[in-house]
Structure 1
């Protein structure tokens, strides 16, 4: 078994381990390819996976793996392709089984069961301390899983993260007591359910973009986060923008792009930046 990806899959019990069995299921090496290599020769390829390995050069960050709907083998092959290309790996919305498989395949990676994410960094995982931080603010503890996805996305982007939890509008003094954490941030991601008022309140205190992430936390008329989404979209604060319901990755990624805009103008490879470990 000369293919290292097949060896990895066999070690995880996802393909047969014996040489004779592997020969019957072994696929051509073109099954996992970059977007500039074209499609596999067979139109009925059992592994329809074409990684966009050029995305880091075009957009500043590598392709992110979205877990739902992926078989175990497709998930591992996607991660292996990014690892082999020397790119940082982030996978989101993972099941417990998917988290376990990735952690067994690359023990040096970082799994976050609350965020349902897994990441493996190429080179130093430390944040770039030259960047202004991004704050992640939650209205309540029920918003924690979505906020965790925001934080893990920012860490994958090597953006310094500040965390302010449980400062919803029902206790307005709590936010006022933490304003000093927010004043010098590049952006602020506010995660809130219920009526979704917190982003507007935060935005009235700061001079940076505020990205609202509505969550599905709330009672019946919350409509699975729709009420929070509409409240944020109708914010009177001019510096509020909004992403989709429970979209922690999207909120974190947009905030990370804001924070790293200067760095990306210098280099298309985030791993090439010298980082301050202090």
Structure 2
């Protein structure tokens, strides 16, 4: 439940539109619900503005299904990351309207339609191989109520491709830059825009890329100012932070 939900519930009780006992039932699972294998944080949206997100990797299919089944009772939008096809098939049994992005490995369901922001987040990818991280970031940002512009395959190996999209990038309120290999694109964009840049190193690259470590270190050592770096392949984390910035 968010602050608006709590306020409406209290007003409904005050105005006699709902009985006290019925109102208690609506909040009895605050601050969390213990499912035995997981404690669902029903208080999170009230504290931080966004409901809990389900990280699926390492969980069983049944656990993911049970978590989502309970969260649906709270009328929250659902976002599950790092989900596989088997998890999605199980979730569809309890939520037929759920959507799966196989490239971004996300399961989403909109219980409430968010009014998208007028400003937008630009997600800029160095290469097509970075698309799984881009899709995770895009699904996250959109579900959290942001407009998104995706600019694909504009890495430094063909830097001229970037300049044809620079106006779109500069028009964003915050820019997410996704890049593997040596991760140089974040520095390039950081030197061209006056907006916050969130850099996401990806695990794309040959052996000396060390699974994204080379790109991570390049981004952390960027000579361009205003660049913040998240963990390797963490499109979700980048989009979550970008959403907070975009809504300030």
Q: TM-score range by the shorter chain?
A: 0.7 to 0.9
Alignment of 1:153 onto 2:140: yes
CA RMSD of aligned residues (A): 1.6
Unaligned runs of 5+ in 1: 1-32, 41-46, 262-278
Alignment of 1:141 onto 2:128: yes
Q: Select 2:38's aligned residue among 45, 49, 63.
A: 49
Q: Tell me if the contact between 1:99 and 1:116 (Cα under 8 Å) persists in the aligned partners.
A: no
Alignment of 1:83-232 (within 5 A): 83-124=72-113, 127-130=115-118, 132-232=119-219
Q: Secondary structure at the match of 2:134?
A: helix
User: In structure 2, what is the Cα distance between the partners aligned to 1:171 and 1:206?
Assistant: 19
Corresponding residue number in structure 1 for 2:12: none
Corresponding residue number in structure 1 for 2:239: 252
The superposition leaves residues 204-240 of structure 1 with CA deviations (integer Å, 9 ceiling, x where unpaired) of 1111111100001001110000000000001111111
Deviation at residue 160 of structure 1 after TM alignment? 0.1
Instruction: Kindly indicate whether structure 1 or structure 2 has the higher relative contact order, using CA contacts under 8 Å at least 6 residues apart.
Output: 1
Q: Secondary structure at the match of 2:200?
A: strand
The superposition leaves residues 225-258 of structure 1 with CA deviations (integer Å, 9 ceiling, x where unpaired) of 0000000001111111100001111111111111
Q: Tell me if the contact between 2:122 and 2:176 (Cα under 8 Å) persists in the aligned partners.
A: yes
Deviation at residue 60 of structure 1 after TM alignment? 0.6
Deviation at residue 128 of structure 1 after TM alignment? 1.4
Q: CA 1:94/1:39 → structure 2, altered by over 3 Å: closer, same or farther? A: closer
Corresponding residue number in structure 2 for 1:276: none
Task: State TM-score, norm by structure 2.
Answer: 0.85
Corresponding residue number in structure 2 for 1:60: 49
Deviation at residue 88 of structure 1 after TM alignment? 1.0
User: In structure 2, what is the Cα distance between the partners aligned to 1:34 and 1:71?
Assistant: 24
User: In structure 1, what is the Cα distance between the partners aligned to 2:31 and 2:154?
Assistant: 47
Matched residue count = 221
Runs of 4+ in 1 over 6 A off after TM superposition: none
Deviates more, 1:193-202 or 1:181-190: 181-190
Unaligned runs of 5+ in 2: 1-27
User: In structure 2, what is the Cα distance between the partners aligned to 1:95 and 1:167?
Assistant: 29
Task: State TM-score, norm by structure 1.
Answer: 0.76
Q: Select 1:76's aligned residue among 41, 57, 65.
A: 65
Q: Tell me if the contact between 1:35 and 1:50 (Cα under 8 Å) persists in the aligned partners.
A: no
Q: Secondary structure at the match of 1:182?
A: helix
Q: Tell me if the contact between 2:53 and 2:79 (Cα under 8 Å) persists in the aligned partners.
A: yes
